[in-house]
Structure 1
Amino acid sequence: MTNPNVAESPILFKKGRFKKETLLKLYESLLMPRRIEEKMLILLRQGKISKWFSGWGQEAISIGAVEALSKDEFILPMHRNLGIFTGRGIPLERLFAQFQGKKSGFTKGRDRSFHFGSTEHHIVGMISHLGPQMAIADGIALAHKLSKEKKVCLVFTGDGASSEGDFHEGLNVAAVWKLPVIFVVEHNGYGLSTPSEEQFAFKQFIDKGPGYGMESVKIDGNNILEVYQTIQNLASDIRKNPRPVLVEAVTFRMRGHEEASGTKYVPKELMSTWAMKDPVENYERFLEENGILTLEEKSRINDKIKIAINEGLEKAFAEENIIPNSEEEFNDLFAPFTQRVIPAAESLKSEKRFVDAISDALKQSMEKYPNLVLMGQDIGDYGGVFKITDGFVVQFGRDRVRNTPLCESAIIGTALGLSIQGYKAMVEMQFADFVSVGFNQIVNNLAKIHYRWGQNADVVVRMPTGAGVAAGPFHSQSNEAWFFHTPGLKIVYPSNPYDAKGLLNAALEDPNPYLYFEHKALYRSLSETIPDDYYTIEIGKAQLVRNGNTVSIITYGMGVHWANTIVDEMECDADIVDLRTLLPWDKEAVQQSVKKTGKVIFLQEDCLTGGIGAEICAWISENCFEYLDAPVMREGSLDTPVPFAPSLEKNFLPVERFKKKLQDLIVY
């Protein structure tokens, strides 16, 4: 078996005009991750750490990059980039505490190894899904561009991870928007055990750059001086002329994907060839042969590194194991924020459709927050498919009202990157159904990032949702339950224009991630006289929209209108509780209604099985049992995809079944 990455040996270093201090600094910086690796492999065998992802043989890429950039420029590393963390001067005791799951680690024991970031050190860590960090880098770079900062962002990916769709989306967005990002592909020949020829059909990554409309550069990833000089030159140029560049760093991984994997799948001759190109040994030899590194200096640097590692480990090992505190776990789900409800001015009101109320909220929030950026497909000159942002480009400009390529995952990731730089972002899904393509970014990045390492995600994702418009299975789904199960998200779902405006304003104020569901069928069918001025509604507070004593109907969204119509038809004495907020939902309001009526039914447009009603009905059964005079009931749509034909769709929706079940409950 051959490998396209095999390069000549030994490494040919070009001393050029490098100062001696620079050459020695690079040596010390290069040596630190290697010495830490040696120590970690011992600790792994001793059972003192649980897992280790080795970057042995690839250290020159991380060190060359981190030393080439300014300290205040963000880097997004991956598993094999230990040198980024040490190169940014992260205290070793905190780094080792992170590896051991101690409280002083960056994730407080909630995540492992390199799955963390530190805004203080301008590092954004990865998640296990490998690709999503590409779009986050786009967002950080977009923030630089919007703020007119002459900075660059650098993000790493592996050759295996380049098979992910996020790789394509991240590069494409950066190219289209001319974002100052350096994409570094560490081409080490394998994705775990899968060789490059089984990952892709091309031979080198620099062939991909032109396809995206960006420059590509290929470098010897084991040559610390070539990496350093190339990244330094590119960064300097990109700061003046913002654009993305794809850098292919050819290297090899000398140990397993992680230590348990081993390297038996790698031909021995390939390992031998690349062992000759060890980046640390070759650079050390070069410095010695050129009289730059003396035995005395070499000994001093090694002793300094050894002492630092041992002291860091001693402090990390001395730290007590974490004592769990559930309250702290819940508190760290979200960035601290106390909502101050802004009441509506009573003087100025006008009639607005549901769609107008949403547009009104967006416009007033854009005026209130100059750092708010709107992104979505066709939201620019076209005004969005539902015309909610019609005219926004003229008022706010193309920088803040951004048409996006058709790539939901990248745009959500970009929104998170903006948030890391202190911006607010609103992402419009053209239809809520399409959010499935961006699912990973929402449930694994937006939802978990504050819990993991304290970074907030100031992002609102707007979701035009619901059936009743004969749009079929891919434009009509109710998918709020997909996210209801995910800690770290907030979900709102208004049923009327007044709430639509107030809840969207409130969501945009909060520096935490929101999903904002808006029913398409209500856009132009529902009007209401509401305040013209800016106002907000309390998040997590339900609304009693109808007061009765016989039965409690708990619902939200379109269900509120169905319930009202049916109660009118039946002339029954019912409480109708509009949840408005699904996460968090108002337990107190539900309990008060159940206590009063003794009978309760939950109505949802979503399919019945596994819906939000199931959870809330279970909670009622567990917490309100003594007040019940009948079984807790629920009704929802059929457990099928949403059909297209109007008659089939009507049968799919729960209206008639709900009416029958409500009658049964009342006479129970």
Structure 2
Amino acid sequence: MNFDRKNLTDEQLLDLYKRIVKPRLIEEKMLILIRQGKVSKWFSGIGQEAIAVGITAALDKDEYILPMHRNLGVFTGRDIPLYRLFSQWQGKANGFTKGRDRSFHFGTQEYKIIGMISHLGPQLGVADGIALANKLRKNGKVTAVFTGEGATSEGDFHEALNIASVWELPVLFVIENNGYGLSTPTNEQYRCENLADKGVGYGMESYIIDGNNILDVYTKIAELKKSMVERPRPVLLEFKTFRMRGHEEASGTKYVPQELMDMWAIKDPVDNFRKYLKDHGILSLDYDETLRSEIKKEIDEHLAIANNEPEIVATYEAELNDVYKSYEFEAITPSDKTENIRFIDALSTALRQSMERHDNLVIMGQDIAEYGGAFKITDGFVKQFGKERVINTPICESAVVSAGMGLSINGYKAIVEMQFADFVSTGFNPIVNLLAKSHYRWLEKADVVVRMPCGGGTQAGPFHSQTNEAWFTKTPGLKVVYPAFPYDAKGLLASAINDPNPVLYFEHKQLYRSVYQDVPTDYYTLPLGKAALLKEGNDVTIISFGAGVHWALETLKNNPEIAADLLDLRTLQPLDTDAIYASVRKTGKVIILQEDSMFGGIASDISAMIMENCFKYLDGPVKRVASLDSPIPFTKALEDQYMAKGRFENALKELIAY
């Protein structure tokens, strides 16, 4: 192995040596502990420490790094107290996840480290968002994100590279090519000769670096960092390396040919660097022994601290209180001045006034800039707020949602517009596994609103007409809003943007231009989780939301003899159970109307909750009315048959007559 010190001083070389020895010694200790059963799982990075150590040493401490699960050198390089790491790996409270996630699945704002989720790919998009925030601030900061050669097959990898290239984001995309994705060798992972070649397709400069040579790693990153400050852009780096242990310790390495293990053992990054320093008179035997002794002592002392820490005691309160970030709703009341506007105008005004109120708010989506969005809701926004804050995105929903998370991590608010709610399926993973779980896992907010134009009645067919709220109402950590009127749409959207938790905001397309209402011209907020009682009566309780509210109003208008409580939920998560139970206790009969298909819809859960909590008040079965359990069709006759609207009146009359 050839080491080129370039202009590095002896002190710098010794500092790099200290940095690379520490994670190696911790690893060796962890292998002992796992054999003793004191640690449940371990992902070893032995053999590839030079990458994490070199990159971390080259970056400033206030620059974000997004590592993987065998990048211990990132964490030690940021000087995290070892007892906190040991507590994390043992599931103790002094760790970073309160025992809720293991190993390196955590982040810490204090040390500017953002940990991975097991789905791997989304963290690349998160890095894009973090870098976008840095670029907006013009602070000259670089973001580094790690991935393995296996994850380069994921769509998120390609989406993130494409976004970073198009937006010229200062991101170092670090591929640790260690030969195997768990047990699958590279020749079964990809066909290109080098993964660095993939950068060409995205107009991105790329490099192949010896991942076992810490000087090559450090000097190249330092050089790139200086260049990227002057000219922000992404860079793809493929580090050739090898992991000398299994994917995790239980996996073993029997699937690896012994000659390959022997070849890479000769290239050990720690042993070779030590030999180089000794051969050049930079590292003495005494200093090396003293350094290793000090690190081992630190490890033992901090292990004792973690071992003496009590086990976590499980309580319902502690767990449930951390699913969402606590947030004190600020009620803002408008003046009496109103204007009669459409649903779509209310949304546009809420967005515009929120952009004026929050100078750190960014909107991202397909065709939302000069074109104004598919429904023209952001028409004129570019002229007022600039393309820096109203950003057209490539067609890559997953990475855009992840970028929203990155913006939130780095101090911004993000709105992601799905052109149609149906298209959220390609961004589903980061919503339910990243946004929804981040606060619970490591107390990091996800200040992201995902706007969801949804619903049928426009003959748009199976891919543009779904109302898919039930995909998200069952996911802890998400909030789901679904207004039916312009007044609510404006106030609830403002509140959703203020809320630091992730919000899925459903907007029924058929209501956009068909529903008018007198709406305050001023900015105002409405609380999430509060239903609206639109009509009062003693015969029956009708529960609905979105377009279903208007179907119910039409039915009651056509049947004036029916005296009903009509409850517009407005928010599906959190759900206003108090309002639901109060009305059911009063009327004794309840019918729930949803546009979504029946099985697995939110009406089923509301029905079950009523049965469990209000059974003794019921004078009839809880009735559900929903669309057919089929995809939504295109032709009007088929769509009309599909929709719940046509079956509601008969179902309502049957329940009243029960």
Normalising by the smaller structure, the TM-score range is over 0.9
Correspondence 1:16 to 2:1: no
In the alignment, what sits opposite 1:202? 192
- Structure 1 residue runs of 5 or longer lacking an equivalent are 1-10
In the alignment, what sits opposite 1:560? 549
| The one of 498, 503, 506 aligned to 2:492 | 503
In the alignment, what sits opposite 1:324? 314
Correspondence 1:73 to 2:63: yes
Partner of 2:244: helix, strand, or coil?
coil
| The one of 427, 430, 441 aligned to 1:438 | 427
**Structure 1 letter corresponding to 2:289:** S
Shift of 1:656: 2.3
**Structure 2 letter corresponding to 1:481:** A
**Structure 2 letter corresponding to 1:411:** V
Shift of 1:344: 2.6
**Structure 1 letter corresponding to 2:126:** I
| The one of 259, 269, 276 aligned to 1:279 | 269
C-alpha distance after superposition, 1:427-451 (max 9, x if no partner): 1000000001010110111111111
Partner of 1:624: helix, strand, or coil?
helix
Correspondence 1:623 to 2:613: yes
**Structure 2 letter corresponding to 1:434:** F
Distance 1:556 1:15 in 2: 67
TM-score when normalising by structure 1: 0.98
| The one of 474, 480, 485 aligned to 1:491 | 480
Distance 1:541 1:492 in 2: 10
| The one of 295, 312, 323 aligned to 1:305 | 295
Distance 2:550 2:331 in 1: 26
C-alpha distance after superposition, 1:540-587 (max 9, x if no partner): 000001111100011100110011111222221111100001000101
Distance 1:50 1:73 in 2: 31
| The one of 127, 142, 148 aligned to 1:137 | 127
1:27-46 correspondence to structure 2 within 5 Å: 27-46=17-36
**Structure 2 letter corresponding to 1:468:** G
Correspondence 1:169 to 2:159: yes
Correspondence 1:595 to 2:585: yes
The percent identity for this pair of structures is: 61
When structure 1 is superposed on structure 2, of 272-281 and 568-577 the one drifting more is 568-577
1:215-294 correspondence to structure 2 within 5 Å: 215-294=205-284
| The one of 155, 171, 176 aligned to 1:181 | 171
C-alpha distance after superposition, 1:502-526 (max 9, x if no partner): 0000001111110100000000111
- Structure 2 residue runs of 5 or longer lacking an equivalent are none
**Structure 1 letter corresponding to 2:284:** T
In the alignment, what sits opposite 1:5? none
TM-score when normalising by structure 2: 0.99
Partner of 1:208: helix, strand, or coil?
helix
**Structure 1 letter corresponding to 2:234:** P
Partner of 1:298: helix, strand, or coil?
helix
In the alignment, what sits opposite 1:533? 522
Distance 1:333 1:339 in 2: 17
**Structure 1 letter corresponding to 2:430:** Q
Shift of 1:318: 0.5
C-alpha distance after superposition, 1:204-252 (max 9, x if no partner): 0221111101100110000000000001110111011100000110001
Distance 1:439 1:206 in 2: 28
C-alpha distance after superposition, 1:248-306 (max 9, x if no partner): 10001111111111111111111110110000111111111111111110011101110
Partner of 2:373: helix, strand, or coil?
coil
Correspondence 1:384 to 2:373: yes
Partner of 2:470: helix, strand, or coil?
helix
Correspondence 1:401 to 2:390: yes
Distance 2:331 2:606 in 1: 26
Shift of 1:343: 1.6
Partner of 1:127: helix, strand, or coil?
coil
Shift of 1:655: 1.6
When structure 1 is superposed on structure 2, of 306-315 and 328-337 the one drifting more is 328-337
| The one of 439, 445, 450 aligned to 1:456 | 445
Distance 2:298 2:331 in 1: 51
Distance 2:212 2:69 in 1: 17
**Structure 2 letter corresponding to 1:538:** P
Shift of 1:342: 1.0
Shift of 1:658: 1.9
**Structure 1 letter corresponding to 2:154:** E
Partner of 1:24: helix, strand, or coil?
helix
Partner of 2:217: helix, strand, or coil?
helix
Distance 2:587 2:224 in 1: 70
Partner of 1:601: helix, strand, or coil?
strand
In the alignment, what sits opposite 1:478? 467
Shift of 1:329: 1.1
**Structure 1 letter corresponding to 2:59:** L
Distance 2:14 2:191 in 1: 40
| The one of 93, 100, 105 aligned to 1:103 | 93
Correspondence 1:570 to 2:572: no
Shift of 1:336: 2.1
C-alpha distance after superposition, 1:377-407 (max 9, x if no partner): 0000000000000000000000000000101
**Structure 2 letter corresponding to 1:278:** D
When structure 1 is superposed on structure 2, of 567-576 and 592-601 the one drifting more is 567-576
Correspondence 1:160 to 2:154: no
In the alignment, what sits opposite 1:6? none
Distance 1:657 1:519 in 2: 20
Shift of 1:623: 0.3
Shift of 1:340: 1.6
Partner of 1:642: helix, strand, or coil?
coil
**Structure 2 letter corresponding to 1:310:** D
**Structure 2 letter corresponding to 1:576:** L
Distance 1:598 1:101 in 2: 48
In the alignment, what sits opposite 2:502? 513
Distance 1:89 1:636 in 2: 56
| The one of 626, 630, 633 aligned to 1:640 | 630
**Structure 2 letter corresponding to 1:544:** L
**Structure 1 letter corresponding to 2:604:** A
In the alignment, what sits opposite 1:350? 339
| The one of 353, 371, 375 aligned to 1:364 | 353
Partner of 1:124: helix, strand, or coil?
coil
In the alignment, what sits opposite 1:417? 406
RMSD of aligned Cα (Å): 0.7
C-alpha distance after superposition, 1:113-152 (max 9, x if no partner): 0000111101000000011000100011000110111110
Distance 1:413 1:333 in 2: 19
Number of residue pairs aligned between Structure 1 and Structure 2: 657
C-alpha distance after superposition, 1:526-551 (max 9, x if no partner): 11111100011111000001111100
Partner of 2:340: helix, strand, or coil?
strand
**Structure 2 letter corresponding to 1:145:** K
Distance 1:296 1:54 in 2: 28
Partner of 1:335: helix, strand, or coil?
coil
Instruction: Write out the 4+ residue segments of structure 1 that deviate beyond 3 Å after TM superposition.
Output: none
**Structure 1 letter corresponding to 2:582:** Q
Shift of 1:657: 2.0
Partner of 2:236: helix, strand, or coil?
strand
Partner of 1:197: helix, strand, or coil?
helix
Correspondence 1:90 to 2:41: no
| The one of 280, 292, 296 aligned to 2:286 | 296
**Structure 1 letter corresponding to 2:579:** A
C-alpha distance after superposition, 1:180-199 (max 9, x if no partner): 00001001111111111111
